[in-house]
Amino acid sequence: MLHLMEYALTLEKHRNYRRAAEHLRVSQPTLTRAIQELERQLAAPLFERSRNGVIPTVFGDLLLQSARRVALDIGDLKRDIALIKGLDAGELDVGIGPIVAQTWIPDVVAGLLVAHPNLKVRIAGQDWWDLPGALRERRIEIGVGELDFGSEEPDILIEPLPRRPIRFYCRVGHALTAAKTLTLKEIGEYALVSAKMPKRADHYFGGLKALGKLSHDGRYFEPPIECPNFDACRRIVGACDAIGVAPLSMLEQAQDERIAILPFEAPWLCTNYGILHLRNRTLTPAAIAFCERAKACERQYHEPRTHIQSSGRRATKRPIS
């Protein structure tokens, strides 16, 4: 009956037999027969069609509540088995914010797999405001991203990571590169290309229309040219008068001759990342190893290295011995 309950949960999520069947990788008739069998066993109609798609009946809602509890219990069972098996046969589900996923997270996963080649790791791209919910629903065991949720999360344990500088950048030859210093108002005359930013950005950027605005739901700051991929942002900025914003180390590592870092620094213009997991849930060996390696890789990624000056030329920082 467990696989039938999984089919019911998937149908509820997609509200459409065809899409649910595609997600489950079964034929639509197979899914239809599975739901019919579940209705036969429970002697009650579970779903009905409407203008909004397939929706659960009152009996279906009862089933789905139980199915979600069972899914959580099965997830906990798998996790307990992984605790016993250890790293050599473990599994790990991690939710990662979009910018972090493009910086030091690949180094974390690669290092884990070198040390433990049989470990199964699943990385899910996740908006930072969804990380607590994903942890509670057991969709992930570890979350890494912005600590900007808008409310306290007492059941979530947060390990803050060091705050790192963020800088604006533009194409080489842009009018802004002629200045030795810049104000935010001067930078804010040009459209911003960026991924979604935490809503705290509205406190500083809110009066500058070219930089963006707070989203309608208040969950994030929305740039006028929204692009979650840093390489794509760089290509856009390198070919027009729009500006970008990114962690300084990300720009240093890119070493892109098309772009220049703008001469504007502010103590508030920095990252606010952290590692998250449920407070009262023992971490698996794989999760513990991930957290330890994550902190080490984050430090290594931000060590002094060759970087781009405001003029677009490269300069080398002396490494710290």
Percent of all residues in the chain with a pLDDT value above 90, rounded to a whole number: 52
Nearest-Å Rg of the Cα atoms of the chain is 24
**Which pLDDT belongs to residue 82?**
63
The secondary element (H helix, E strand) that includes residue 144 is strand 142-146
**Which pLDDT belongs to residue 72?**
78
Q: Are 253 and 237 in contact (CB under 8 A)?
A: no
Q: Within its chain, how far is the Cα of 69 from the centroid? A: 25
Architecture of domain 2-78: Orthogonal Bundle (1.10)
**For residues 114 and 252, what is the distance between their CA atoms, to the nearest angstrom?**
26
Q: What is the pLDDT of residues 191-232, one digit of tens each?
A: 999 999 999 999 999 789 999 999 999 899 999 999 999 999
* pTM reported for the whole predicted model: 0.69
Helix ranges (DSSP H) in the chain: 2-14, 17-24, 28-42, 58-85, 105-115, 131-136, 184-187, 201-205, 230-237, 248-254, 285-301
**For residues 243 and 169, what is the distance between their CA atoms, to the nearest angstrom?**
6
Confidence band for 81, pLDDT divided at 50, 70 and 90? low
Confidence band for 187, pLDDT divided at 50, 70 and 90? very high
Strands 220-222 and 213-214: antiparallel
Confidence band for 309, pLDDT divided at 50, 70 and 90? very low
Torsion of Cα atoms, 272 then 277 then 283 then 289, to 10°: -20
CATH superfamily of 166-270: Periplasmic binding protein-like II (3.40.190.10)
First to last CA, the chain: 61
Domains 2-78 and 86-163+272-306 share a fold: no
Kindly report the CATH class assigned to 86-163+272-306: alpha beta
Q: Kindly report the average pLDDT of the chain as a whole number.
A: 87
Q: What is the pLDDT of residues 109-154, one digit of tens each?
A: 999 999 888 888 999 998 999 999 999 988 999 999 999 876 678 8
**Res. 320: pLDDT tops 50:** no
**Mean pLDDT computed over 98-106:** 92
Q: What is the pLDDT of residues 152-178, one digit of tens each?
A: 788 999 999 999 999 999 999 999 999
Strands 142-146 and 273-278: antiparallel
Compare 311 and 172 and report the one with higher pLDDT.
Answer: 172
The residue extents of the domains of the chain are 2-78, 86-163+272-306, 166-270
The dihedral built from the CA positions of residue 170, 174, 175 and 178, taken in this order, carries a sign that is: positive
Q: What is the pLDDT of residues 19-48, one digit of tens each?
A: 988 888 888 888 898 889 888 888 889 898
Query: Measuring CA to CA, which residue among 42, 52, 40, 70 is closest to residue 14?
Result: 52
Residue 292 token pair? 């330890």
The dihedral built from the CA positions of residue 244, 248, 254 and 255, taken in this order, carries a sign that is: positive
**Res. 100: pLDDT tops 60:** yes
Instruction: Please tell me the number of Cα atoms within 13 Å of 167 on its side-chain side.
Output: 20
**Res. 312: pLDDT tops 90:** no
**Which pLDDT belongs to residue 317?**
38
Q: Across 208-281, where does the E strand assignment appear?
A: 213-214, 220-222, 225-226, 243-247, 259-261, 273-278
**Which pLDDT belongs to residue 294?**
95
**Which pLDDT belongs to residue 91?**
82
**For residues 267 and 270, what is the distance between their CA atoms, to the nearest angstrom?**
7
Q: Are 94 and 124 in contact (CB under 8 A)?
A: yes
Confidence band for 316, pLDDT divided at 50, 70 and 90? very low
Compare 119 and 241 and report the one with higher pLDDT.
Answer: 241
Compare 291 and 68 and report the one with higher pLDDT.
Answer: 291
**For residues 10 and 15, what is the distance between their CA atoms, to the nearest angstrom?**
8
Most distant CA atoms of the chain, gap in Å: 76
Using DSSP's 3-state secondary structure scheme, residue 115 falls into helix
In what side-by-side order are the strands of the sheet with 197-198?
197-198, 220-222, 213-214
Integer angstrom CA distances of residue 308 from 137, 249, 253, 311: 42, 10, 9, 8
**Mean pLDDT computed over 241-264:** 94
**Mean pLDDT computed over 76-80:** 70
